[in-house]
Structure 1
Amino acid sequence: MRPTRAVVLLTAGLVALLGVPGTAAAATPSTLYVSNHDDSHCSDAGSGTQSVPFCTVSAAAKAVQPGQTVLVKTGRAYDEAVTVDRSGEPGRPVTFAADPTEGAPTAELSKGLAVTGAGHVVVRGLTVRGGVQISRSTDVELDRTVVSRGTLDALVVGGESTDVHVSRSRLTGVRVEGGSRGTVLGRNQIIGVVRPAVTVVDAPGTAVTNNTFYGYCQAALSVSGGSTGSALFNNVLYTEATSTRCESAEPVQGMAVSQSAAEGTRADYNLIVSAAGRTVYSWAGTGYQSPAAFQAASGQGAHDILTASRDEAGQMDGSRAIDSADPTAPGVLPTDHNLNPTADDPRVPNTGKDGGYLDRGAYETQDGLSEAWMVIDRTWAPAGTPVEVQAVSNSLWPTAMEYHVDFGDGTPPVVTRPGNALGAVATHVYSAPCECTVKVTAVNGVGAKAFTQKSTKVTAAGPLTAAFTAEPVLPASDSPIGSTRPLTVRIDPAATALPWPLDRVDLDFGDGTTAQGNSLEPVQHTYSRPGDHRVQVTVRDSHGATSTAAKTVKVDYAPSGYVATAPFRLLDTRTTNSPVAGGTPTGVILPAGLSVPDHVLSGGMAAAVLNVTVTGATEDTHLSVWPSGQPRPATSNVNVRAGGTSSNTVTVPVGADGRVSAQLNSGRASLVVDFVGYYQPNAGQRFSPIAPTRLADTRTAGGALAGGTSRTVKVAGVGGVPAGATAVALNLTSTGSTADAHVIAYPDPANRPATSNLNPEPGKDKSNQAIVPVGPDGTITLYTNTGSTHLVLDAVGWYGKDGTTLFTPTVPRRLADTRTTGKLAPGTDTTVAGLPAGAVGAVLNVTATESTGPGFLTVYGYGASRPGASSLNTRPGDTVPNHVTTPVADGRVAVWNSHGGSTHVITDLLGYFTRP
């Protein structure tokens, strides 16, 4: 801002015009409310409360008392003519105002407003159609009001009214008459439609200051009759155009003061826009075409400006109205038509009276400040490093700007005054690390502000030191249907001490793959196989320094719950005429999402439970199933004779690509794969292993199951399986079969799937383990397609919310093979060791081969009592595998051979159960 002399002069002008203000009333005035909205519950018979407002402004005008304010709800016009004839008191006026709580800017009166015989009245923020008439009244303020009345004068002040102040309003014609005294028109926009914009007749002491007039008829401003002692200052008068609607054919002038009104009337600092060659002034009966001629003859208008260009009269750059008015003129207001404060444009010389910077007309040119920006030279640097902030704004007056830069660390803001258009620069040294927010406040000469902020990172001083953490990424517990593949690890280098900004991060995952990035954000990597991997992270900063951190990361499958699904067929090479061939792996895609109708399957499964059938083999062979993308293990899952059919349940970890691989050892055969369920971390049900317990035996109850029929069997709430179990693990054995057939175990008797669990053959006892969801009333249903067969069901465990263990898949690996130690003799058992510490249960693939007689094997927890149930049946000349779920004790299980003959036993580990 410029020196404060102009402000002093402004204040002096106001005091000279209005006198010393009185003491404000201590009590807060009460409020009356008016609303004609449909939902307002209004009543003109009420007291005008907010809950029951008046319906009309007229009703409020009849009830208002000194010091009260009538708030008129906006948004809907009031179709009434309002008369105010009640008075306030000095310092306690009656006030009529638009309700500021509503969105519409003004409240509209459609048929006019009259203030008659009243005093100390304020009207603010209304729109009045039909005009305003003020008569026989005193101390009336009309502020920020829009008034129109067709082609007639919108505002008439008369009847010897005194001290009427009209400010910051938009009016179509004003007439001051009838002996009115002390009328003040300030900061208004006034248009003359068929008459002068302002007509003053017989109204002494009228002050017309800082208005913008659009005059199209006779004169923009006309003062006549006994209007002596008037003051005409700081106005902008547009008179360059003439209207064809004028009441008089007189050519338009800027200002006309009659001889009878000239005595004591002063005029100066006005700006008139007029076409060349016109009479600009008419003073005491004589016309003048220039301010110079006018000043020479009358002594008035010494500082008036005449221009033919509108650009020199508005608020745009180059306007001669800027900073050129008289701040001491009678009626000067501290804010303009839009409530903007008086502002000093530093680019323009202050040519107003005594160096004042008030603008001429109703509007005060403003800076236009609305935005600020900053540039931080170092948004990331160690403590002790100077940080420089350059601040700029969209100020039109940059030399008057002040910038407050708060560096966000608790130190006082740095205040700069640039004095040029290039903005300000502030420098600061942070003493300690922080995540600080730098805030810039741009303040112009009138106190308007604009803000901006940016973050800066202050790090600890010291060397660059790479560091990282590594942890498995598991599907979220609140979103069990996820897409996170097993063996996924998150490498997070956020612990790196990085004093200077990062340039590059290089990651070596230790499995032959690498990655590069430019942030310290975590990176996820899915390994193709479990194991120990040497992970290395190398960080380079913007100063060229490098640092490397390395550690061995153990990657493995995570403990998981079981998600039972209704079984469905996943693959059948018989339908595609594409049998599998020995030595060539076949990829089996595990579905995810909704790719299988009526099944919602997760892409985050850690292991799949499948029923795998090999049929039509061209020679004796075996099938291995393992996770895709990993080496084929030296294990087997299904053994089959040439021309025969054999099936087995397979629990297999999922590869990184969402697949498993299957491969015949030799020959060719058709492959059938049924999907039974899956294991996933943070999802599904827990498992409780139990010693094999017989649930059903058709040889002793119910008789053989006939082909084409089904039978329900109770499996939950019996035999150690609780009623709340959601799935049960069973060893299913067929005996006494009369035909080659297949058996299906399923939960819903009304929805039999097109899958199979066991393939009975005449003359052979065959077994297979099945995991079956529990159906209605704790049952499952058994079905065979042809012939008849006896079935034996032995429970080996159950799944449910009250289960006790989680399953950890493993890549299939061999635990024991008696072919290297000697056959297991009839009536003896062998111990299989090497299970993980803490395992309380295990999923095994147990194979009997080179058996000398028919019999069975029982697998159970080491040291426990041997149960009276079988795990698989041995047959001379056949190699027989079975999926076995068994308790574990001390990292060992026992395998007992019945009295049928000696046999070799091969034990492969598929996974194990632990308590969480």
Structure 2
Amino acid sequence: MRPTRAAVLLTAGLVTVLGIPAVSAAEAPTDLFVNNATNANCSDTATGAGTKNTPFCSIQAAAKVVEPGQTVRLAPRAYGGALTIDRSGEQGRPITFVTDTTNPAHKAVLGDALSIDGASHVVLRGIIARQAKVERSSDIVVETSTLAHEFVIGAGSADVRISRSTIASGRIQGGAQRTIINRNYSNSTASLPAISVLDASDTAIANNSITSYCDAGIAVSGGASGTSVANNVVFSERAQPRCETPLAPRHGLRVAQSAAAGIRADYNVVHQRAEVTDAAYHWAGTDYKTPAEFRAATGQGAHDFVNPADLNAAVVDSADATAPGALASLDIAGFGPMDDPGAANTGKDGGFLDRGAYESHDQLSTATVSVDQPWAPVGTKVEVKASSNSRWPTGMTYSVDFGDASAPVVTRQGGAAEAVASHTYASPCACVVKVTASNAAGKKVYAEQPVKVTPAGALTAAFTAAQVLPSSDSPAERISPLTVRFDPAASATPWPLTRADVDFGDGTVKQVSDLSRLTHTYRAPGDYKVTLTLQDAKGTASVSSQTFKADYAASGYVATEPFRFYDSRDDTPVMPGGVPLWMDLPIGMNKPEHPLSGSMSAVVLNVTVTDATQDTHLTVWPDGQDRPATSNVNVRAGATTSNTVTVPVGNSDGALMQLNSGWASIIVDFVGYYQPNIGQRFSPLAPARLLDTRATGGALPGGKTRTVKVAGVNGIPADATAVALNLTATGSTDNAHVIAYPDPARRPVTSNLNVEPGKDRSNQAIVPVGPDGTITLFTNSGSTHLVLDAVGYYGKGGTSLFKPVVPKRLGDTRTTGKLAPGATTTVSGLPANAVGAVLNITATDTTGPGFLTAYAFGGTLPAASSLNTLPGITVPNHVITPVGAGKVNVFNSWGGSNHVITDLLGYFTNP
């Protein structure tokens, strides 16, 4: 059978666009690249320009050297200037210019006109130009482009096709032959026809959507033999102010007398605004307002519509797919022909190609699914309803997979609002119902909904409650101490829950969503009754309770380089007594210059009280808890006193401190911290002397340092990471402070001990081990003798972990009688499994200079002191000591009698 002219035209287009016959891989030329971005390293002159690594800067540079079969890939950017193409490809090996992007909205933008002059076998895709002109050229294709003002095809050009593009107006003239204008959108505001043909033969104008404001939509004049106008939709709009006057007639189709004999027009739609009074057709000098008049007089337009009541019905599935130039593949938006199941196929020979540039499609993009009982016991029939956003629901098919390995149920939506499928689950599962929605063209979209199929039985509340512990020392991980993880997954819930409440026993009640896990942080340690209350959709209720013990977890120690993080003298010079002050601890990124773990359980601080207006004491305790009846630092009016403080972390990353009376300034240095699953274990030691400058080396002068070996001596292993020391100053000649620190090259702006002339002072310090197992001592003024006793160490060889406690008082001889010289008091109340204790021991109402020594109950009194006592002065000290049978002995030297107050800050236990 002889092929139709339309088939010949379409085939010619396919040869050009698809490059048929294809070039073998060995013959395929290298692509050229154009990209003028700042960082593209482009050049129009460099050797090797046009590669991906060194692209051309201008499209014109590539156009001057491109060879047959090459593709010029344009970055989607703006390029200045015009573009002239005068080089030619070959049959089956065109020269191609294409915007290199996967997004069709991104295009290469020319600064001026596009000119194709004397070229052949050229393809352009994804270009934006102000205007385009094709002269003396053949086999030219312009696709998916934008010609903002006009295009002109003439001067002996042949086989030019402009497709799937946005155009303003176009002229085919000057003897052009076999031009195809198809699947384009034209919006013409110029005072000339949107598309005009003048003295050009075999032109095919097909499937365009044309809007014209000032003149005709399509105009044909002169010699136009073999011209076809088919499947177009022409909108004649109200005139615009820019239209020239007098206003030209706004016919949808205007054909001059000279062209009427050689043109075929059919399957077009003309839609006119009410303001447009011109005839839809002007043919060979005569106006025709209706298709019937036009058909009767000319034999044309047998399937045309003018101002149809239902424009969609006139356009959809009604075109002539065999018309010359009809592009039956993709429309301007990239959609192929689709058969609307709700529209009759009135196209030629029952075809369903649409008229105009756009193919009507079902717009299918999403599916929806709903399950009537997404939570139900085995044996319950569930119903699934599925739908989509398709405009053609009668053509939709749904496959419903219930997620339990049963065969999917296939159903159609038909005329109903939704497709419906039902199923009965035979066994429990956490299944997912998946719906696949398919249209007639084979496009598929998906939706899913989880379902919970439960065992049949009674509603039963059950849960587990476990402490949450940190897994790292990352600043980003925040696990507060006293945090519980509540998991109700053990509950049996055959029907959906209408109520699921968790009472944590501290006044906090939370709701559980779908029996999901919760975490909760308690403000203080204690035993809490946790209660889960469930009620289901059937009105059944179930309650379960258990006691959770919230407590600080056993923790390892992390030594840090000391740093100062709080000094009230920088803000409020003095702190009033009787008022608690919140202290933001350096946890996580609270102090960005010192990032630390976000999950500390307790911190070790050195707290200094100075400028006190009267004799007073300072208490430090965890934020969110009641102030304990303990003390940490005692200070006389006008004096400066410091003490090491170990305190648990509160639930807001803070601690509270309060002066008992008067006013004073507070200085806080950070020493280290404890954390579960992190850090080093501790081994307590009977106090062992590491240094006594009275016997060796002499007093430490002000401004000088002294290095002391602390690891690898006196029972402290060489790989210890930190040591706990009792630091005593005696024979001081000036008011000064002493610093103990690890790295002799990096002395911190902190202090460990404040000294006065004529008074012995002691304080405990936990110091990281520095180079070669040493620490460094420094005093800022005068000179002082220093005595250093080790009471324990931290490291890989450590045996015990630290259990923080809210500070509490264990013993106070003011209620039992003063401790006489040479006497020992036993302090009980420690857990039986404690191997070491962290205490704050305070001596008060002292009658003579002396010292106190803490040691394990049942142990041997060591030849070392825990704190030095002075008559008439209340002296506290942070003390780490071994424990025996849950008890600690405190020995009073022969210097005088003392009242002894013992506060517990925590204890060590072997895990």
Spell out the pairing of 1:404-415 with structure 2 (5 A cutoff): 404-408=399-403, 413-415=408-410
CA pair 167-626 structure 1, distance change in 2 beyond 3 A: closer
**In the TM superposition, what is the alpha-carbon distance from 1:30 to its structure 2 partner?**
1.8
Q: CA RMSD in A?
A: 6.0
Spell out the pairing of 1:103-142 with structure 2 (5 A cutoff): 104-105=106-107, 110=113, 112-114=115-117, 129-133=131-135, 140=139, 142=141
2:509 counterpart of 1:515: yes
Task: Name the stretch that deviates more: 328-337 or 559-568.
Answer: 559-568
Structure 2 contact 599–675 (Cα < 8 Å) conserved: no
CA pair 293-893 structure 1, distance change in 2 beyond 3 A: closer
Q: Secondary structure at the match of 1:173?
A: strand
Spell out the pairing of 1:313-324 with structure 2 (5 A cutoff): 318=312, 320-324=314-318
**In the TM superposition, what is the alpha-carbon distance from 1:306 to its structure 2 partner?**
3.1
2:427 counterpart of 1:424: no
Residue matched to 1:172: 169
Residue matched to 1:535: 530
Alpha-carbon distance between aligned partners in 1 of 2:266 and 2:43, rounded to the nearest angstrom: 54
Spell out the pairing of 1:64-463 with structure 2 (5 A cutoff): 64-65=67-68, 68-73=69-74, 75=77, 76=79, 79-83=82-86, 87-88=90-91, 92-101=92-101, 104-105=106-107, 110=113, 112-114=115-117, 129-133=131-135, 140=139, 142-144=141-143, 154-156=152-154, 158=156, 167-169=163-165, 170=167, 172-175=169-172, 180=177, 185-188=181-184, 194=192, 197-199=195-197, 201=199, 203=201, 207-212=204-209, 220-222=218-220, 225=223, 227=225, 231-237=228-234, 254-256=253-255, 258=257, 262=261, 266-273=264-271, 275-276=276-277, 278=279, 280-282=281-283, 288-307=288-307, 312=308, 318=312, 320-334=314-328, 335-408=330-403, 413-420=408-415, 422-431=417-426, 433-448=428-443, 450-463=445-458
Task: Name the stretch that deviates more: 369-378 or 545-554.
Answer: 369-378
**In the TM superposition, what is the alpha-carbon distance from 1:758 to its structure 2 partner?**
7.1
Q: Deviations over 1:411-438 (max 9, x none)?
A: 5654443233724334444555555555
Structure 2 contact 607–633 (Cα < 8 Å) conserved: no
**In the TM superposition, what is the alpha-carbon distance from 1:132 to its structure 2 partner?**
1.5
CA pair 557-155 structure 1, distance change in 2 beyond 3 A: same
Counterpart pick for 2:739 among 734, 737, 746 = 746
TM-score normalized with structure 2 length: 0.73
Matching residue's letter, 1:361:
G
Q: Secondary structure at the match of 2:546?
A: strand
Q: Deviations over 1:600-639 (max 9, x none)?
A: 99895536667799999999x9999877887898989899
Structure 1 contact 568–753 (Cα < 8 Å) conserved: no
Alpha-carbon distance between aligned partners in 2 of 1:363 and 1:644, rounded to the nearest angstrom: 90
**In the TM superposition, what is the alpha-carbon distance from 1:771 to its structure 2 partner?**
2.0
Residue matched to 1:4: none
Structure 2 contact 620–655 (Cα < 8 Å) conserved: no
Percent of counterpart pairs with the same letter?
43
Alpha-carbon distance between aligned partners in 2 of 1:251 and 1:737, rounded to the nearest angstrom: 110
Alpha-carbon distance between aligned partners in 1 of 2:504 and 2:249, rounded to the nearest angstrom: 95
**In the TM superposition, what is the alpha-carbon distance from 1:478 to its structure 2 partner?**
1.9
Counterpart pick for 1:544 among 527, 539, 546 = 539
**In the TM superposition, what is the alpha-carbon distance from 1:808 to its structure 2 partner?**
1.8
Q: Secondary structure at the match of 1:154?
A: strand
Residue matched to 1:780: 777
**In the TM superposition, what is the alpha-carbon distance from 1:490 to its structure 2 partner?**
3.4
Q: Deviations over 1:73-122 (max 9, x none)?
A: 2543674543356641xxx3535342444874357593522456x6x776
Matching residue's letter, 1:280:
Y
Structure 1 contact 220–238 (Cα < 8 Å) conserved: no
Matching residue's letter, 1:323:
D
Spell out the pairing of 1:860-875 with structure 2 (5 A cutoff): 860-861=855-856, 866-871=861-866
Alpha-carbon distance between aligned partners in 2 of 1:704 and 1:202, rounded to the nearest angstrom: 113
Structure 1 contact 342–446 (Cα < 8 Å) conserved: no
CA pair 852-343 structure 1, distance change in 2 beyond 3 A: closer
CA pair 716-469 structure 1, distance change in 2 beyond 3 A: farther
Matching residue's letter, 1:478:
D
Alpha-carbon distance between aligned partners in 1 of 2:174 and 2:868, rounded to the nearest angstrom: 123
Alpha-carbon distance between aligned partners in 1 of 2:873 and 2:66, rounded to the nearest angstrom: 111
Structure 1 contact 439–454 (Cα < 8 Å) conserved: yes
Structure 1 contact 389–426 (Cα < 8 Å) conserved: yes
CA pair 911-716 structure 1, distance change in 2 beyond 3 A: farther
Matching residue's letter, 1:292:
A
Matching residue's letter, 1:71:
V
Residue matched to 1:6: none
Q: Secondary structure at the match of 1:295?
A: helix
**In the TM superposition, what is the alpha-carbon distance from 1:778 to its structure 2 partner?**
2.0
**In the TM superposition, what is the alpha-carbon distance from 1:692 to its structure 2 partner?**
1.6
Counterpart pick for 2:765 among 765, 768, 771 = 771
Q: Deviations over 1:516-550 (max 9, x none)?
A: 32424444444455344443322333443333333
Q: Deviations over 1:269-322 (max 9, x none)?
A: 333456556482435x77655433343344443333334xxxx49xx8556333
Alpha-carbon distance between aligned partners in 1 of 2:54 and 2:621, rounded to the nearest angstrom: 81
Q: Secondary structure at the match of 1:96?
A: strand
The structure with the largest alpha-carbon Rg is 1
Matching residue's letter, 1:293:
E
Q: Deviations over 1:705-762 (max 9, x none)?
A: 99xx688665443763678877654445677899xx9875433798886986678878
Count of residues in correspondence between the two structures: 862
Structure 2 contact 686–862 (Cα < 8 Å) conserved: yes
Residue matched to 1:496: 491
Q: Deviations over 1:25-56 (max 9, x none)?
A: 58457245445555455579989876788887
Runs (5+) with no aligned partner, structure 2: none
**In the TM superposition, what is the alpha-carbon distance from 1:791 to its structure 2 partner?**
6.3
Alpha-carbon distance between aligned partners in 2 of 1:911 and 1:351, rounded to the nearest angstrom: 90
TM-score normalized with structure 1 length: 0.73
Structure 1 contact 623–637 (Cα < 8 Å) conserved: yes
Alpha-carbon distance between aligned partners in 2 of 1:286 and 1:615, rounded to the nearest angstrom: 110
Structure 1 contact 217–246 (Cα < 8 Å) conserved: no
Structure 2 contact 841–900 (Cα < 8 Å) conserved: yes
Spell out the pairing of 1:714-725 with structure 2 (5 A cutoff): 714-717=707-710, 720=714
Structure 1 contact 827–896 (Cα < 8 Å) conserved: yes
Matching residue's letter, 1:144:
E
Q: Secondary structure at the match of 1:292?
A: helix
Alpha-carbon distance between aligned partners in 1 of 2:143 and 2:565, rounded to the nearest angstrom: 79
**In the TM superposition, what is the alpha-carbon distance from 1:154 to its structure 2 partner?**
1.0
